[in-house]
Structure 1
């Protein structure tokens, strides 16, 4: 079903995409069913082994569409369709669609999430054309959030804060990670959001950055890493906080302070005109100086919007210059095998003079 939050923006987003295409020398953008297309048009057709592509040229845009999906898809878009049937195959319809959208294409942008067989089919049909990825065009637009998009992200952050508190209220001797994840899911649903993930890691399991929530149960003295996210109106939340069931393990509080200092350093570095790399390095330097550099094993953050992980990626290898309206997580961590792990995660919006944090929930250790 079409995303109601995106529908009013379709014409404006298509116009912005064409401006971006002109600026990057891209004559054609080819999108598969997925996040880029859903952001652009407010819907994505069914995705399977049958090629279904949206082709956007300088003036015209159309779909290469399997016939069995055409009638349903027409409910969501007025773009022209070039249909093909299983007993004929897509080759003729693809040639006609390309001739309509961009008959003189010299360089095209390929959806980086497209199936390999569909990408090769398209590349063969555009033999001799230069090639880039849609992350350069559509992805570049998605990185800069509008005020309406930021408002949706703020609402999702509010719901995620409520879910974090619900986990704390549910802590009890013997409760399992899976049972706590169910509390998260129920809380998101009660506020009109769809839960997308819930990492609940008790005790030593918190030392696994992407722990698979399981059957471990809670006892006094355990800490719990709570990394959760949900989606409402097509946009996501993502937040990590730490909770202790009783007094935390020896040494925990000191490490927690280091991680929080790393978050604050990254927040201070995040502003227009600086690189994503500099934000990562600001957090990483705090942790390294404290002697835990070998235990910070991932990037400092990732973009957040219609996907949980999208551009920009806050890594020490990314020279991308930050701009006002970019939204990304700041989530440094320290993971001590066999003991505990600590990750504190905020969602930051780059503003004219710095950044704004969406969560209203303290990063202090919550002791229950």
Structure 2
């Protein structure tokens, strides 16, 4: 795995050269994890990874050092609570060779603000920007190791969703269904990323929080759930009906399914994310439900559950080979039900590979 991190570090330095970047500063985040394999506990003690064209090293609290050393061979500039991080950061910046004048620095946009101000205070003349054209750009295209982990996570998620729908019984609560899902995750060594079970009108809330609503006959069921396995998440939504579905439900389900198909067909290497959103959205608008499509069509997925590229109507981002993102249009009808069908796809030269093996058909129980 260290070879993987070295390759990523080499690729980052190429990006730095292309973007005239003197220094990349990462806090405890998925960016740090992706580039180094280090994912330290984030608290008020400054932890930062600084990467220059010729050096990479950590600003590291003494309390973290021994544990983190198990995960990286990169040098540490250690500071103690009694002394504070200022001197260690000064030494780290000197080792990195970062110019004290108008240096060009990339900052981790997810880093604590007080960490950022340590850099600003040390290099007051620096030109600052975020990671979009360096680490962020590299992370958008997943490698074979990431693909394998994402695929495995999605297959476990399929098993959990199947068990949840198969286990539906009248009188059970949304929390009872969530427990079924969590048990499947645990049995395969995965962790819960999130579980959103929505009965009936709760499905009209795009981000419903699983609660105590009880399942009754002739009720819509929507389950949006994901686990984390081998460090990577899954995310999938399936919908169905407990009892005999109404004509309206079947009609809306068919519209959403056609929207998914349109989004999948529009997503190819070089396609603009906004056009993919438009393709899915147009199906729903043409059916007269445009105002009830309340969200974007999709989001990227990698180490983070939500990350670039975002499949939004205003995005001009061109999709690239190796991108992983969701296609998840939905129709949300207040006080009745909501239907969202979601696939996570890996973009290949020939188009979208769906990571789930679970059909999108209406699940009637």
1:345 maps to which residue? 342
CA-to-aligned-CA distance 1:325-351 (integer Å, 9 cap, x gap): 101000011100000000000011111
Query: Match for residue 70 of structure 2?
Result: 75
User: Is residue 247 of structure 1 aligned with residue 244 of structure 2?
Assistant: yes
Q: What pairs up with 1:315-326 in 2 under 5 angstroms?
A: 315-326=312-323
Q: Which residue of 1 aligns with 2:223?
A: 226
Take 1:69 and 1:229, find their aligned partners in 2: how far apart are those partners? 30
Counterpart contact for 1:111–1:135, Cα < 8 Å: no
1:144 to 141, 146, 151: 141
User: Aligned in 2, Cα 1:125/1:249: closer, same or farther, shift over 3 Å?
Assistant: farther
| TM-score, normalization by structure 2 | 0.97
**How far, CA to CA, are the matches of 2:236 and 2:97 in structure 1?**
42
Determine if the alignment matches structure 1 residue 15 to structure 2 residue 2.
no
Structure 1: 5+ residue runs without aligned partners?
1-5
Contact 1:10 1:40 in 2 (8 A): yes
**Residue of structure 2 equivalent to 1:63:** 58
TM-score normalized by the length of structure 1 = 0.96
| Separation in 2, partners of 1:101, 1:44 | 21
Of 53, 77, 86, the residue aligned with 2:81 is: 86
**SS of corresponding position for 1:231:** strand
Question: Is the 1:208–1:335 Cα contact (8 Å) retained in structure 2?
Answer: yes
Determine helix, strand or coil for the equivalent of 1:135: coil
Q: Which residue of the partner structure matches residue 168 of structure 2?
A: 171
2:119 counterpart of 1:122 = yes
Of 280, 286, 290, the residue aligned with 1:283 is 280
Give the match for residue 236 of structure 1: 233
Distance 1:102 1:49 in 2: 26
- The 8 Å contact of residues 62 and 78 in structure 2, kept in 1 or not, is answered as yes
Structure 2 unaligned regions, length at least 5? none
CA contact (8 A) 1:27 1:107 kept: yes
Corresponding residue number in structure 2 for 1:260 = 257
Q: Is the 8 A contact 1:263 1:331 kept in 2?
A: yes
Which residue of 25, 33, 48 corresponds with 2:28? 33
Verify: 1:217 aligned to 2:214, yes or no: yes
Contact 2:23–2:98 (CA<8 Å) still a contact in 1?
Answer: no
Give how far 1:288 is off: 1.1
Match of 1:207 in 2: 204
SS of 1:75's partner is helix
Moved over 6 A (4+): none
